[in-house]
């Protein structure tokens, strides 16, 4: 069987498992779907209110700025949280038959991605109607989102393997992501950080994945986007390579530890 057929078969498995995941998560109702997508929308609403009106952060179109950072951040952290224990929760399936673990991982990430996309577009459309051409980078959003999802696959793959070997990984992660939220320019711009600390803050790989998405909808410039997508792609290549290398090295022990 050639490689192309294998890829098609895997893709079909991913597609159908994503649909099944969604059915299971939404309890086959639209209300179930709303329940899942309301959480990031409410988080965004509350943060937007607090930082703009209570803390009076003085940035032009702050709500749009926050949308470009916070929703991708929620998508990343939620996906990491859900994907990290995924191989262990599916251990019977992975040990019972020969199934590529990536099929399970990809279907979970795709399920989360559709929720993110729905919430993101739902919030973006009013801005687009009001600001129109001022959101100049929308045609580039597709590339930024593809890079975001690929980078996330690398991170989630790595962490889900790590969880098989080190069972407290999933408990350490919320602490790290909570701390990282404050150290990442998500709800504040990088200019707020003292200049000598800025390179450290901006080196956060998750931030480098999010930044091109934000630039597409907020203060777009093609030179800036090009440089950001380049850095973002480097992060994606690094995380995917690292995960692939780690999987290859630990594959045998992975099955015995499951």
Q: Which residues bind another protein (CB under 8 A)?
A: 1, 5, 9-10, 12-13, 16-17, 20-21, 23-24, 27, 92-93, 95-99, 103, 165-169, 172, 251-253, 255-257
The nearer residue to another protein, 17 or 209, going by C-beta atoms, is: 17
Cβ(231)–Cβ(147) under 8 Å? no
Q: Which class for 65: exposed (0-12), middle (13-18), buried (19 or more C-beta within 10 A)?
A: buried
Nearer to another protein, 50 or 93 (CB): 93
Report the run of H or E that residue 138 belongs to, with start and end.
Answer: none
The Cα–Cα gap between 156 and 206 comes to: 12
In b/e form, how buried is each residue of 100-135, taking b as 16+ CB within 10 angstroms? ebbbbbbbbbbbbbebbebbbeebbeebeeeeeeeb
User: Closest distance between another protein and the C-beta of residue 85, in Å?
Assistant: 14
- CB of 237: closest distance to another protein in angstroms? 24
- Under 8 Å between Cβ of 193 and 105: no
Torsion of CA 33, 37, 39, 43, to 10 degrees: -160
Cα angle 238-164-81, degrees, rounded to a multiple of 5: 70
Report the distance separating Cα 204 and Cα 222, nearest Å: 22
- Between 168 and 223, CB nearer to another protein: 168
Q: How far is CA 238 from the centre of its chain?
A: 16
Q: What tokens does 111 get?
A: 């399920």
Give the single-character DSSP code of 167: T
**Distance of closest approach, residue 254 Cβ to another protein, in angstroms:** 9
Closest C-alpha among 240, 187, 175, 153 to residue 71: 187
- What is the smallest separation between the CB atom of 17 and another protein, expressed in angstroms? 7
Looking at the Cβ atoms of 11 and 192, the one nearer to another protein is 11
> At which residue do the structure tokens 């509350």 appear?
46
Task: Indicate the residue among 56 and 98 with the shorter CB distance to another protein.
Answer: 98
Comparison of 63 and 169: residue with beta carbon closer to another protein: 169
**Closest approach of another protein to the CB of residue 159, in Å:** 11
Q: How far is the CB of 140 from another protein (least distance, A)?
A: 35
Tell me whether residue 95 or residue 125 sits nearer to another protein (CB atom): 95
Taking the complex as a whole, the smallest distance from the CB of residue 6 to another protein amounts, in Å, to 9
């Amino acid at each position: 069987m050639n490689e192309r057929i294998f890829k098609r078969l895997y893709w079909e498995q991913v597609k159908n498992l994503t649909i099944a995941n969604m059915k299971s998560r939404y309890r086959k109702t639209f209300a179930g779907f709303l329940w899942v997508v309301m959480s990031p929308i409410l988080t965004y609403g509350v943060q937007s209110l607090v930082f703009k009106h209570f803390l009076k952060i003085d940035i032009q179109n702050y709500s749009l700025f926050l949308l470009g950072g916070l929703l991708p951040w929620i998508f990343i952290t939620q996906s990491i949280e859900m994907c990290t224990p995924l191989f262990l929760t599916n251990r019977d399936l992975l040990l019972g038959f020969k199934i590529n673990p990536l099929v399970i991982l990809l279907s979970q990430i795709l399920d989360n991605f559709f929720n993110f996309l729905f919430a993101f577009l739902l919030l973006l459309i009013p801005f687009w109607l009001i600001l129109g051409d001022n959101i100049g980078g929308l045609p580039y959003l597709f590339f930024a989102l593809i890079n975001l999802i690929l980078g996330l696959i690398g991170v989630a793959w790595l962490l889900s393997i790590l969880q098989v070997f080190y069972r407290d990984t999933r408990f350490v992660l919320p602490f790290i992501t909570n701390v990282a939220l404050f150290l990442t320019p998500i709800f504040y711009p990088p200019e707020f950080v003292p200049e000598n600390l800025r390179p450290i803050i901006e080196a956060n790989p998750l931030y480098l994945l999010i930044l091109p998405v934000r630039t597409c909808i907020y203060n777009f410039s093609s030179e800036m986007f090009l440089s950001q997508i380049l850095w973002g792609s480097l992060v994606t290549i690094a995380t995917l390579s690292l995960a692939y290398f780690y999987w290859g090295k630990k594959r045998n022990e992975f099955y015995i530890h499951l």
